[in-house]
Copies of this chain bind each other. A is one copy, B any other.
Amino acid sequence: MMINRAKLRQSFENIRSLTEALCDPLEIEDYVVQPIEDVSPPKWHLAHTTWFFEKVILEKFEANYKPYDPTYHFLFNSYYQSFGERWQRTMRGVLSRPTVREVLAFRKAINERMTNLIETCSDQDLPEIGRLITIGVNHEQQHQELLVTDIKYIFANNPLSPVYNSIIKEQNVHLPEPAMIQISGGVMCIGYDGNDFAWDNEKPVHRVFVDDFHISNSLVTCGEYLEFIRDGGYKDFRHWLSDGWDRVQQEGWQAPLYWSALGDEWQMMTLSGLRPIEAAEPVSHISYFEADAFARWAGKRLPTEAEWEVAAHNLNSDLQSANLLDTQAFHPLANKTSFLGNVWVWTSSSYSPYPGFVPEAGELAEYNGKFMSGQIVLRGGSCATPRDHIRLTYRNFFQPEKRWQFSGIRLADNLHK
């Protein structure tokens, strides 16, 4: 493949500046805190994504490479055993230094060294550098999504309820009637088979048998979820997996994350501040356990990841109209019909290697494969996913109890019960 240095540089610079732009609404103090282990300080995201380029690319390809600051290699390695010792993940929020200013200087310096490398490296090195930059850029896009969800968590857990962005006014559109759509099965191919970038976990394309099934043309809404709550959904063990029911008891779950009772009504914390529940909006910030319980209560089930992928190919998976990060709504919108965007949907599939899976070579083998246990696949992207980062074969994954991502429900069902 012929690599265009100018395009590569453009892509690199765009992604790098978008990350910083996402932090514009923050005060210095907001960059520092880590309310729970899952949520990293925004400052850490800024530094870690930079460390990635320095460690994975500059250290190998830059002539006369010298580390920007050797301590940063310890502080900003996330989970790569191959890259040596790391600062403890639970302790990211106790580091006041480096300051935000210092982190931004780190970004600037690495950006310059990277763009210099792009322009001056040998033609021989270029393909490998290009490949690694593409991974680094996609890695940074994942952290863009995490930045949004982590900022939301930081703000939502502050009694002063800070506001990140102003509300996007939705256009009323004529929405199709909600319905279960029949999809024909058989031996289907799923997985990535193209020439652009995709993660190792999306490959290889392979055959699966999928029976005919039904899938909803719309996401479960807050209004529908409210019926589940009002019907005692959180109080009846029969809807729940055993681990889910334990979690409901331990955590005292009574509604999605960020919902709070206001007298007889519910309100929710959003990145635009506290708002009443909007019945037509897709429900979000629920765990797999809640998604699964809702589906059982509704007499339906969650789709497998293969079913989701097959259905998305058949139905509306328009990328341009989808509500993704670029929309800048930072919130699921009611008037969207694409299988992509709004909220990631929990599938019923455990995160496992595809048949024939081969991890990325070298240290980046640690990127995906080692996490293939105890997690559930989510599909479709969310309002916090960059538009040019998502695709129909994309496999996101989280533990079944996690709720701080924009995660929701699309129901499926068997044809004959």
Residues of A within 8 A of B (CB): 27-35, 43, 71, 74-75, 79, 81-82, 87, 91, 93-100, 154, 157-160, 162, 187, 206-209, 211, 237-238, 240-245, 288-289, 292, 348-350, 352-353, 355-356, 365, 370-374, 400, 414, 417
Query: Which residues from B are CB-within-8-Å of A98?
Result: 160
Given known pairs A29-B32, A94-B33, the reply for A81 and B209 (CB within 8 Å) is no
- CB pair A160 B97 closer than 8 Å: yes
The 8 Å CB contact of A29, one of B31, B159, B414, is B31
Query: Which residues from B are CB-within-8-Å of A157?
Result: 94
- CB pair B356 A352 closer than 8 Å: no
Given known pairs A159-B74, A414-B355, the reply for A32 and B365 (CB within 8 Å) is no
Can you show 10 pairs from A to B with CB atoms below 8 A apart? A31-B96, A33-B93, A93-B94, A96-B154, A97-B162, A187-B209, A208-B208, A238-B365, A241-B373, A242-B370
Query: Which residues from B are CB-within-8-Å of A87?
Result: 159
Given A27-B96, A31-B96, A242-B371, 19 further pairs, Cβ under 8 A: A27-B97, A29-B31, A29-B43, A29-B96, A29-B100, A32-B32, A74-B159, A79-B242, A87-B159, A93-B94, A94-B154, A95-B158, A97-B162, A240-B370, A241-B371, A243-B373, A245-B370, A289-B373, A348-B352
Query: Which residues from B are CB-within-8-Å of A350?
Result: 350, 352
- CB pair A208 B206 closer than 8 Å: no
Query: Which residues from B are CB-within-8-Å of A365?
Result: 238
The 8 Å CB contact of A241, one of B238, B370, B417, is B370
Query: Which residues from B are CB-within-8-Å of A370?
Result: 240-242, 245
Query: Which residues from B are CB-within-8-Å of A187?
Result: 187, 209
Residue on B nearest A241 in the bound complex, by CB? B373
* CB of A46, distance to nearest CB on chain B (Å): 13
Query: Which residues from B are CB-within-8-Å of A34?
Result: 94
Query: Which residues from B are CB-within-8-Å of A352?
Result: 348-350
Residue on B nearest A36 in the bound complex, by CB? B94
Measured CA separation A356–B79 after assembly (Å):
39
Residue on B nearest A400 in the bound complex, by CB? B373
Measured CA separation A34–B187 after assembly (Å):
49
* CB of A99, distance to nearest CB on chain B (Å): 5
- CB pair B31 A81 closer than 8 Å: no
The 8 Å CB contact of A209, one of B35, B158, B207, is B207
**What 6 A-B pairs are tightest by C-beta distance, nearest first?**
A350-B350, A35-B94, A209-B209, A29-B96, A242-B370, A30-B96
Query: Which residues from B are CB-within-8-Å of A209?
Result: 187, 207-209
Measured CA separation A206–B28 after assembly (Å):
53
- CB pair B71 A160 closer than 8 Å: yes
Measured CA separation A208–B35 after assembly (Å):
44
* CB of A372, distance to nearest CB on chain B (Å): 7
* CB of A370, distance to nearest CB on chain B (Å): 4
Measured CA separation A98–B27 after assembly (Å):
10
Residue on B nearest A87 in the bound complex, by CB? B159
Query: Which residues from B are CB-within-8-Å of A32?
Result: 29, 32-33, 96
Query: Which residues from B are CB-within-8-Å of A356?
Result: 414, 417
Residue on B nearest A188 in the bound complex, by CB? B209
